[in-house]
Structure 1
Amino acid sequence: MSEPGSLLRSLAGRTTARNFHSYVINEIGAGVINGRFPVGSTLPNDAALMAEFDVSRTVLREALKTLEAKGLLEARPKVGTKVAKRTRWNLYDPQVLAWHFGQPLEREFLAGLREMRRVVEPAAAARAAQRRTADHLRLMQYWVRQMETSASEIQNFALADFELHRIIADASQNPFMRSFIGVIELSHAFAYRPLVEDAGPHDLEEIIAAHRTLVSAVERGEPEAAHSAMLATIAIDEEKAGV
């Protein structure tokens, strides 16, 4: 399972250590997304994959089962393991979404990502304004302060921004909105990649101010204001990303 924030950490070359099982999952999963294993094709047999990744049959089989659960693969008797149609891929799985990052993406995919974020996150913010707890508010204020103190370290700033959005999704008390975290992280990765690649100083005050407004609306318990404030933060992200 992909750890929340791992995609944003990878922007700065900070990756999570992998065991053999997760390594095979990542290599085959990314291979499906980038077209190394095309949709409808049959994967090489077990012996070939075991030799390529230098793993046991048990490790390989468990990795394939994980990828099948994510909708990327399907095992067929007497045929082998095939790459599933795109319509079966679980695009709410954070790891599946992370594998899309860095790959050439269709305009339809990017438009859908923006559209879903604009539908779900503002609604989550509105619900958070009604359902947040004292702990949620404490964490929101903490991550705003982290954004303020990390303005000169863009990777840490991006992580703080993402964590704030994650807490708001959690504060909505809606399990489906909480499961939206992969879309939120991928959107943040697209937004912050240009800033990470540009080593120069960045004026982040507009972003900080927008998030202060968002947290203030949630804290005051004003759903409509929280909804509007979340839309404003998303608009800033879209402008930064240029996608």
Structure 2
Amino acid sequence: MIDPGSLLRSLSGRATARNFHSHVINEIGAGVISGRFPVGSILPNDAALMDEFSVSRTVLREALKTLEAKGLVEARPKVGTKVAKKSRWNLYDPQVLAWCLEAEPDEEFLAGLWQVRHALEPLAAADAARDRTGDQIRLMHYWLRQMEVALSEPQSFCLADFELHRIIAEAASNPFIRALQGVIELSHALAYRSVIAYELPYDLAPVLQSHRALVTAIERGLTSDAALAMVETIEYDRLQAL
């Protein structure tokens, strides 16, 4: 489990401290996603992995259980730990998505990512326009202000952008839309990583304006306008990611 925004903060290259347990999870999980441990292969035995990562059997076993819960591996009696089929990977898990970013996702993966956002986030915006609370509207305006003051700081801007989308997803009545947090964060990471990592110039003012229109529509209860405004913000992200 990683905290919301951790993937976006990592784009600047700042390393995050890890304990032994999380280190093993990260190394094996990233290895599965990248193909270092190919689908259908059997992981090295416990003794080899314990030696590679300098951890106890208890730490290794707990890490493998976590990876099994994410759908990446499966324990097979008398066989060992097998790398699971891609269809079993939990692509709504933020940590799995972080490994996908690290491994450079292919075109099929990227197409699916944007399709999911286009299909579900406009519904979230419409739901939010209908059901939003006063506190949620205040939070949306707060993150809009954070975007405005960070126009010259892309990493802070993208974090505020993500948080705004996260609040809108939280305001939706559909629990499956609320589960999109990792998908939304990954797409923001894809959109902003070049700007952040290489400090490339980029005019963020139009992005801010599109989000202002989105929040205005939600605040006024305009469901159709909110859905259309959400599509525009997603398109900004998609075009930045190309």
Map 1:215-234 onto structure 2 (within 5 A): 215-234=215-234
| Equivalence for 1:43 | 43
Query: Matched residues in 2 for 1:200 and 1:9: separation?
Result: 17
Letter in 2 for 1:115: Q
Structure 1 position 195 matched with structure 2 position 195: yes
Identity %: 67
Instruction: Describe how 1:8-19 pairs up with structure 2 within 5 A.
Output: 8-19=8-19
Return the alpha-carbon distance in structure 2 between the equivalents of residues 17 and 173 of structure 1: 36
Q: How do residues 1-243 of structure 1 correspond to structure 2 at under 5 angstroms?
A: 1-242=1-242
Supply the distance in 2 between the matched residues of 1:34 and 1:103 (Cα, whole angstroms): 5
Distance, in Å, in 1 between the alignment partners of 2:31 and 2:71 is: 14
| 8 A Cα contact 2:42 2:82, kept in partner | yes
Aligned residues: 242
Q: Which runs of 4+ in 1 moved over 4 A?
A: none
Contact 2:29 2:99 survives alignment (8 Å): yes
Aligned residues: CA RMSD: 1.0
Superposed displacement of residue 200, structure 1: 4.2
Q: TM-score, normalized by length of structure 2?
A: 0.97
Unmatched runs of 5 consecutive residues or more in structure 1: none
Output the amino acid matched with 1:138.
R
2:97 aligned counterpart, secondary structure: helix
CA distance in structure 2 between the partners assigned to 1:14 and 1:232 by the alignment? 31
Question: Conserved in 1, the CA contact under 8 Å of 2:71 and 2:90?
Answer: yes
Give how far 1:168 is off.
0.4
d(CA) in 2 for partners of 1:15, 1:125: 34
Gaps of 5+ in 2: none
Deviation at residue 199 of structure 1 after TM alignment: 2.0
| Conserved? CA contact 1:32–1:39, under 8 Å | yes
CA distance in 2, matches of 1:180, 1:62: 26
On the 8 A contact 1:101/1:186 being kept in 2, the answer is yes
TM-score (structure 1 length as normaliser): 0.97
Partner SS for 1:11: helix
